Chain A
Amino acid sequence: MKSVYRVFAFLIAAGVALQAAAMAYAVFGLVKWIDEGGTLDKAAITAAREGATPIGGEVGFSTHGTVGMMVMPAIVLLFLIFSFFAKVPGGIKWALIVFGVTIVQVALGLFAHDIAGLGWLHGVNALILFGVAVSAALRVRTDSSVDERVPATAYR
């Protein structure tokens, strides 16, 4: 269970990296597409459908949306549940921190549609999420050097 905890924590950090990469690709793809004559308006965005390549960088935008709204929340929820069973010292606490930072991140992503300025915080909070996920993962590694079932005296 400990290794599951660690794998999920690293998975969350990897997810953050994927999200950043997806947005970088999306923006460059979009700018290039517009440069080549593409028209970006609401009709173009809403016509973006699976299987078609309606606007430049679309794969990046849709990946970011799906991973951010569905995949990451699901992984983080599972991570929190695993933490109840994993018996990692401080594991539940760190899982709750990851959970909380994720909720903030999703909320920022949503409300930034309303107040675009929140996008700045969305980007910064992503790095915080990456940091706390790695920290949670490292809880397992530092702990595993000392097997809690073996009395400390055995190491003398």
Chain B
Amino acid sequence: MRLTDATRNRLRVALPIVLTVGLLAPMAYAWQASLVPDSYAATAMGSVDFGGGPVPPGQGHTGAGGPHAPAAGTISVDDLRDKSTRAADVRIDLVARQQELDLGGGHSVAGYSLNGTSPGPTITAVQGQLVEVRARNESVAAGIALHWHGLDVPNAMDGVAGVTQDGIGVGESFTYRFVADDVGTYWYHSHQLSDVQVAGGLFGALVVLPRRKIAETTDVIAVEHTYGGVRTLNGRAEDLHVDADPGERVRVRVVNTDNGSIQAWANIPFALLAIDGTEVNAPAPVGDQSVAVTGGARADLGVTMPADGSPVRVQVSRGAAVVLGAGNPPVPPQPPRILDPLSYGQPAGLGFDPAEADRRFVYTVGRRPGFVRGKPGLWWSINSRLYPFVPMYMVSEGDVVVMTITNRSGEAHPMHLHGHHAVVLARNGVAATGSPWWFDTLNVLDDETYEVAFVADNPGIWMDHCHNLTHAAQGMVAHLMYAGVTTPYALGGRAGNAPE
């Protein structure tokens, strides 16, 4: 059939338009679908995943954007707090400011401080003590919130703006109150615009000592942070010198407050005493390995000072070091091998049976083109979908949960679950054979699969996100939610809550 000239002309005009629309319409749709309202509840995010377990009453619907009908017996995150009237054992006021930070060595950067310094003061408590922190925001324009990274605090104290509280605006304050039950090395940091505020210095260390003294007589805190490209320990761009006598046992608590992994090693054999605060069972000294400490994670390293009085150098990455004793030993070369906690130390009981899991979840990280909050790009996906269409892992109190975390994204991710200690069962199908590997922040390398387990024993709404906080800000955020828990707080809204 021959087309008439008129038809052909019409086609000539129409075809380019049809092609253009055909090309752009799917993109416009994806863009439109990625937009989030100005104010929305974390509980309404994504699609509910029951992990193959029973559907709790009142939760039998998906939360894809729709409002949740309040189920019978709901509880607000606000009520998940220590309600005792007992006096605090440890009390501290923290004042947040926006200011220029002096890092020493001629370096200074614009950032944030707590009580005038970054890192803020180290909070130290003995196990079982009640800690009370009054956080006041003097001049951080976007507001702040303090999260107790790794501590299993009650949900109302978790410090996530828009989920467990409103951001603390300029001139406002908020009192955090919790019992420090978890012994070990932890840290606190802002969880309002955390990508920007943590990078800028709004954090500090938190140490919970056991009731009985630790075996080490010298206890060193080494908070590593990169301020505007300057590598520091405890806020100073220089080695940290600490006195230590020959034969003395020393514990160096390494806290990585950066987004990416660092390596730590020493010029003499050392033991990895604790991972993310939890003591390793029977840690043996290693001489030819380094320890990877990922973004947000902690590692306690133990050394015994040589009897001949020579100094010890503990590298906290190539660019920072703790020097123990007198002198200045040369930088030891970085060991080529990285210590593998999967087979380090001796096995011990977990206190629960992961084989009896009530729910099994899958958390697969990928990367794909699309739109997040209307912005085109190549974004991190969770279970193949982009923020905010992320899974909402739903549990009931007392559940034993097994989660399989897989990374197919081409980049390593430090995965952090709030409010719970989880334990590694296996990596890439190889079962853990060492000390129980408890963690709160797990570095999952590209193409790795971890099977981890935890007991759902801390009701609330908990973020389960990448602690490369830039990635979190790009939408790598899911939540663990207990059935029946609601939140009066909203992401966005008048308080401008933005936990990432």
Contact = CB atoms under 8 A, between A and B. Distances in A.
Do the two chains bind?
yes
A113 B258 contact: no
Interface in B6-31: 15-17, 19-20, 23-24
Contacts of A55: 229
A69 B368 CA distance: 12
Nearest to A37: B319
A121 interface: no
A39 B262 CA distance: 10
A47 B259 contact: yes
B23 A77 contact: yes
B388 interface: no
B229 A41 contact: no
Nearest to B13: A85
Given A69-B377, A110-B410, A49 B199 contact: yes
B260 A70 contact: no
A95 B150 CA distance: 53
B119 to A, nearest CB: 15
A44 B23 contact: no
Listed residue (A53, A54, A111) with the most chain B CB atoms within 10 angstroms of its CB:
A54
Interface string A59-101: 0000000000110000001001100110000000000000000
A114 interface: yes
A42 B16 contact: no
A111 B378 CA distance: 12
Given A54-B229, A114-B446, A47 B258 contact: yes
B364 interface: no
A111 B411 CA distance: 10
Contacts of A114: 410, 446-447
A150 interface: no
A145 interface: no
A113 B446 contact: yes
B15 A43 contact: no
Nearest to B195: A49
A27 interface: no
Nearest to A45: B260
A43 B410 contact: no
Interface string A15-55: 00000000000000000000000110111111111011111
B410 A41 contact: no
Contact of A84 (B19, B224, B263, B378): B19
A70 B371 CA distance: 12
B211 interface: no
B228 A42 contact: no
B240 to A, nearest CB: 16
Contacts, number: 84
Given A41-B260, A41-B262, A46 B317 contact: no
A45 B226 CA distance: 10
Given A42-B262, A110-B367, A114-B447, A54 B19 contact: no
A81 B23 contact: yes
B410 A52 contact: no
Interface residues of A, number: 27
A70 B447 contact: no
B258 A46 contact: yes
Given A53-B229, A55-B229, A84-B15, A43 B446 contact: no
B5 to A, nearest CB: 16
B34 interface: no
A39 B15 contact: no
Nearest to A80: B23
A44 B19 CA distance: 45
B262 A84 contact: no
B419 interface: no
Interface in B356-384: 367, 376-378
A51 to B, nearest CB: 8
Interface in B454-470: 468, 470
Listed residue (A42, A85, A111) with the most chain B CB atoms within 10 angstroms of its CB:
A42
Contacts of A41: 260-263, 317-318
Contact of A44 (B24, B260, B447): B260
Contact of A43 (B20, B109, B317, B378): B317
B256 interface: yes
B412 interface: yes
Interface string B301-318: 000000000000000011
Contacts of A43: 224, 226, 231, 256, 258-262, 295, 317
Nearest to A40: B318
A21 B15 CA distance: 39
A70 B377 contact: yes
Interface of A: 38-39, 41-49, 51-55, 69-70, 77, 80-81, 84-85, 110-111, 113-114
22 contacts: A41-B260, A42-B295, A43-B256, A43-B258, A43-B259, A43-B261, A44-B229, A46-B295, A46-B468, A46-B470, A47-B226, A47-B228, A47-B259, A48-B229, A49-B199, A49-B228, A54-B229, A70-B377, A77-B23, A81-B23, A84-B15, A84-B20
Interface of B: 15-17, 19-20, 23-24, 109, 199, 224, 226, 228-229, 231, 256, 258-263, 295, 317-319, 367, 376-378, 410-412, 446-447, 468, 470
Given A47-B258, A51-B228, A52-B229, 15 more contacts: A41-B261, A43-B224, A43-B231, A43-B258, A43-B262, A43-B295, A45-B260, A47-B199, A47-B228, A69-B378, A80-B23, A81-B23, A84-B20, A110-B378, A114-B446
